[in-house]
Amino acid sequence: MSVQLTVSVERFPIAGRFVISRGAKTEAVVVTATLRDGDALGRGECVPYARYGESVESVVDQLESLRALLEAGADRAALAALLPPGAARNAADCALWDLEAKRTGVPAYRLAGLERMEPLVTAYTISVGTPQEMREAAAKAAHRPLLKVKLAGEGDAERINAVRAGAPEAELVVDANEAWTEAAFIANSEACARARVRLIEQPLPAGADAALAHLPHPVPICADESVHDRVGLATLVGRYDAVNVKLDKAGGLTEALALAAEARRLGFSIMAGCMVGTSLAMAPALIVAQGAEFVDLDGPLLLAKDREPGLRYEGSLVFPPERELWG
């Protein structure tokens, strides 16, 4: 029986607002690719991101451009040759992983070479706001072991201090989303060190991060917008100490696993990250997250309602997906 592709756009309201240095949003808009082969169904979810020149329409168009090839049985290797890294390739790649797992009865993590999957502690995101707003948000989440603090540039030292005051025991990572200047880097990173922050994510713009090679790193620095797939990864050695591996950037689980392996070889630590999406997007990312130093797969925790069935979260502990969801 031939494979059938369905492409759909879905919207999931966010609980409150999700605010970073580039703006705020109140819903997660995701594009889902579904591949059906008889009784076997494979799904993959992606989040188009304007920062990388993507829109819902462009991602849908990219997936539709693959229809004939996917329905003719194109595999993941062929997919990588047809589409650049990004959201559309991620949805199709993860759908192919899921379809293979459903066809063969072999779980996706085993297809990826893992013997087992373990529950993992994920970060929980504190959105950008005033220092007082962020202190209050941190206090509400202070029971969580790891908080990811979104920053915005001006006033970030005060935001960091406020979050630490609100959650004195939690481990912290901060994410500037390219909002710092080179001039502000030292003062902000020193404020992070005083607040016992464990990791600073993408402090400088991706096109202006060469300065990180000669600036002090009192707290380890993680590349996000500066790294997508393996291309150019070696140029980041000396600038960064860790890389954030996201399926939507890498173009799916296939490249994300290869990226993580190459990053390890080059001496980087790994953060397994995500866009704000549902459990369907987090499920394959959990394979990359096995063994990662930092896990940031809290997308469903930020939604007013996740898709069903979804992943099981107990506080900040996220459990491997059930077969019905993915893989």
Which residues are tagged catalytic?
Answer: 150, 246
Alpha helices in the chain (DSSP H): 56-65, 67-71, 76-82, 87-104, 108-111, 131-140, 156-166, 182-194, 247-250, 253-265, 279-289
**Cβ 46 vs Cβ 90: under 8 Å:** yes
Residues 6+ away with beta carbon under 8 Å from 154: none
Q: Both tokens of residue 71? A: 């329905």
Amino acid identity, position 46? C
What is the side-by-side order of every strand in the sheet holding 313-314?
A: 120-121, 317-318, 313-314
The three-class DSSP label of residue 261 is helix
Interatomic CA distance for residues 20 and 9, integer angstroms: 23
Selection from 303, 295, 251 nearest residue 274 by Cα? 295
Selection from 191, 185, 190 nearest residue 159 by Cα? 191
Q: What are phi and psi of 72, to 5 degrees?
A: -90, 0
Tokens 């605010």 found at? 19
Q: What are phi and psi of 102, to 5 degrees?
A: -70, -35
**Cβ 142 vs Cβ 169: under 8 Å:** yes
- Count Cα atoms within 13 angstroms, Cβ side, for 15: 13
